[in-house]
Structure 1
């Protein structure tokens, strides 16, 4: 038996294995017009290939809950029904391959209105379909970036409503899992961290205030998401600021992540997708194979919330060991699945278990 290829049950949903695809932005949607934010043939091919390649759960990329919530003008969206309809052929196909399909809902906050990475990823203005970002506080992400508009309390509630409506559309589009994007320095994570949240009202200052927006978003999503389907939350377990002993800047910490995990569980979250970083542009991060796994392991060890580990997990034996040792409940692969859409087949062969493939490809495995 292989831990990597053991099914995993979340509420009524049975994921066929623990090889999961992390959400990865493709920056390939139209920036304006009736097709703005609508999935294209590229998105279909990208997600379908990993489903036919044996991946157990496919998480579609960070999908904006509003136009100003996009990272780039070319991001996917779920702020209208045309976008929801565009996802339907993707979800139908992925589910027909025996995989589970989910979507990550996000809002970029102060990191919004930037160009696609292959064009430099710098801030863009109205002449390139850009806009003024919004954030908890009027603090630019980095030098040269837009100074964001500080959200009012009324505007915060509208963003919460945007997450609710996007989740409603995600269900209509055929998704089985919805993940709230609270990681990598985007809006939900910006509220969590004192590095980016300098508010003095009910949404800033204390831990309880800084987590208020995230919990309201989770509650809004859970309100419209069926009781028999799971909700995930992706978190950056640390800003990598306090972990550096000589760095006095204050950020979100691993201790707060552990505390927050139990609160998320109480609000209906079924799994914590544990990443790190992204909120402080020059934080010092010592990377290496599985460098983020210890953060997932700590949440699993100290709380009752299931976790998925991510970050330079590339080798089948490495992934198997993480799960067999109980350090996580699943592994999320990103760039490795970009390089090899059929990674799950190769992993199964290397672990001497039978992989899952469409009938048309079955003789190949």
Structure 2
């Protein structure tokens, strides 16, 4: 049988196959009022379709741990009980399809308070439900972006507590996996990289100091999350800068620390923290980063990045480059990619009885 369709176990949780859905923002929640950040019909239909299509694990979009942690005012959140109730409908349906429900907990940091991409994606102010972004240092992401406020030590501790509260609510909402978002130039990634972290206190300067916030968040999430269920961490393996940024060597070093703090798998992406960089985007271009972490540490990894063809995904696993693959845009194009891949490679995935005639 193809490796893609073998179950995979993390702690006590067995995921039915190695085809997982990467988190992709939908920018489709209410922006303000009591239903701000609550998943609605769009989110249900979007995630349910991929579960019906046989995907083994589905990660929600970046889900903010606080209102100011959203990338845009239209992002999902999990900072209150109304949002918890909205997610329960989704996790219940995914479980009925045999799909594992996972949630990505996030804080956008200096890249917060921006508009929907199809409206330009530029910064928005209070008149458009925006707010002042927060960051490790008062350095904007790019020209034209809002100047973020530098977090005080007290505020850092508050954000760590917000991640802990979000993890607790995620379990109440029925999720079986949490992923801490440390990639793509959002708050945790901003602390990790010297490109965005100019602090001179205990959270800046040395590798140990820049990693402090990430590990505190992981500890806080792990403390709230059941011991028998896994915690993932998404990392940008490199800033794609020639100097002065986060590197693959740093990622390998951090992977060992994350494992020691209770992380069960590293979701390996790249980029997002520096504007204007050139990234050689080709099929599977990020897979070597995942492969290196897997080869040089004991932390399992998932690979992501222009993985589109079943035989390509199978080769990544059979070559030992990753333990699972995460598909993004390809699952937007084809919600039943997993079932199609099973047909091509001779595997099996869950098929609802309503769809038996199509097998």
- What range describes the TM-score normalised by the shorter chain of this pair? over 0.9
Which residue pairs with 2:10 in the alignment? 10
Which residue pairs with 1:194 in the alignment? 194
1:146-180 per-position Cα deviation (integer Å, ceiling 9, x unaligned): 00000000000000000000000000000000000
Which residue pairs with 2:34 in the alignment? 34
Conservation of the 8 A alpha-carbon contact between 1:19 and 1:333: yes
Q: What SS does the aligned partner of 1:75 have?
A: coil
Quick check: 1:260 aligned with 2:254? yes
Which residue pairs with 1:329 in the alignment? 323
Which residue pairs with 1:340 in the alignment? 334
Q: What SS does the aligned partner of 1:4 have?
A: helix
Deviation, 1:362, is: 2.0
Deviation, 1:356, is: 2.1
TM, length-normalised to structure 2: 0.99
1:319-352 per-position Cα deviation (integer Å, ceiling 9, x unaligned): 0000011100000000000000000011011102
Q: Distance in 1 between matches of 2:92 and 2:346?
A: 30
Identify the match of residue 279 of structure 1 among 273, 294, 298: 273
Q: Distance in 1 between matches of 2:333 and 2:2?
A: 23
Conservation of the 8 A alpha-carbon contact between 2:97 and 2:350: no
Which residue pairs with 1:136 in the alignment? 136
In the TM superposition, 1:1-365 aligns within 5 A as: 1-242=1-242, 249-365=243-359
Q: Distance in 1 between matches of 2:255 and 2:349?
A: 33
TM, length-normalised to structure 1: 0.98
Conservation of the 8 A alpha-carbon contact between 1:73 and 1:115: yes
Conservation of the 8 A alpha-carbon contact between 2:29 and 2:74: yes
Which residue pairs with 1:245 in the alignment? none
Conservation of the 8 A alpha-carbon contact between 1:349 and 1:355: no
Q: Distance in 1 between matches of 2:59 and 2:113?
A: 23
User: How many residues matched?
Assistant: 359
Q: Distance in 2 between matches of 1:212 and 1:353?
A: 43
Which residues of structure 1 form unaligned runs of 5+?
243-248
RMSD of aligned Cα (Å)? 0.6
Q: Distance in 1 between matches of 2:36 and 2:237?
A: 32
